[in-house]
Amino acid sequence: MDKFWNFIKNEETSETELYFEGPISSSTWYGDELTPALFKDELNKHPGNLTVWISSPGGDVFAASQIYTMLKNHKGRITVKIDSLAASAASVVAMAGDETLIAPTALMMIHDPSTCAMGNKADMEKAIILLDEVKESIINAYETKSHLSRNKIAKLMSDETWLNAKKAHEMGFVDGILFADNKKSVPEKENELNEEEPEKEDSLTAMTYSKSKNLSAFLSKVSASAESVTGTPIDQLEKRLALLKY
């Protein structure tokens, strides 16, 4: 069993807090009857409001999808708080919050799904089609939260986009920044910025940091975020895709 979560009762607020620290299921839980059932059982024991803390470089997209769905179906209010990093699959879980907040020092990262495939040309072409479908399913979660266009989200994913707290808020991936006054609307904040000082750089450039921009050293420290280290046969990938529901 690969337990990557922890439920803790907050004595001060009497509310339950759920912590995701480290990879979201470093080994796939597809076909694993124990781990998803255990998570669901523990979640059902806390029917009230829930605060979800995320400090994760990512992991299995199918585990993230199922967790996202379980949290969205939860009867209580879900408040997600990103305290350091919500990258890759962990960013999908972050989209489940009725309110999603991010620490001023934290980061989000979204990127295209990846897998390892074996076989002939037809197998490779099939893998590409399946990855495209997985990407579309992930876009559903980002679109629901941010209300950005699917084309824009798709480009951000293809560019492997890293977002600091301010950019994540401006883009709508989070609803506010922890410890800050989030009552002002985004347009009001942008107007104040324009009055004080002209914007000096294109917003897309300001928030996009990819491997092509010398991030290899940093990525090596959070290597679990994006790069798959285990191969996934095409037939299994197809079966997992059938389980994705948004």
| Residue range 166-200, pLDDT digits in tens | 999 999 999 999 998 755 444 554 454 454 444 44
- The boundaries of the domain holding residue 194 are 5-243
Q: Which two tokens stand for residue 177?
A: 């920044």
Q: What is the pLDDT of residues 24-72, one digit of tens each?
A: 986 666 667 678 889 999 999 998 999 999 999 999 898 999 999 999 9
**Number of structural domains the chain divides into:** 1
pTM of the full structure: 0.76
Q: How many CB atoms lie within 10 A of CB 165?
A: 21
Helices marked H in the chain — which ranges?
34-44, 61-73, 89-94, 121-146, 150-158, 165-171, 186-196, 203-207, 216-221, 234-243
Residue 90, domain CATH:
3.90.226.10
Cα radius of gyration (the chain): 18
Q: Tell me which of 116 and 187 has the higher pLDDT.
A: 116
Q: Which two tokens stand for residue 205?
A: 């450039």
Using CA atoms, how far apart are residues 82 and 84, in angstroms rounded to an integer?
A: 6
Q: Which two tokens stand for residue 149?
A: 């266009």
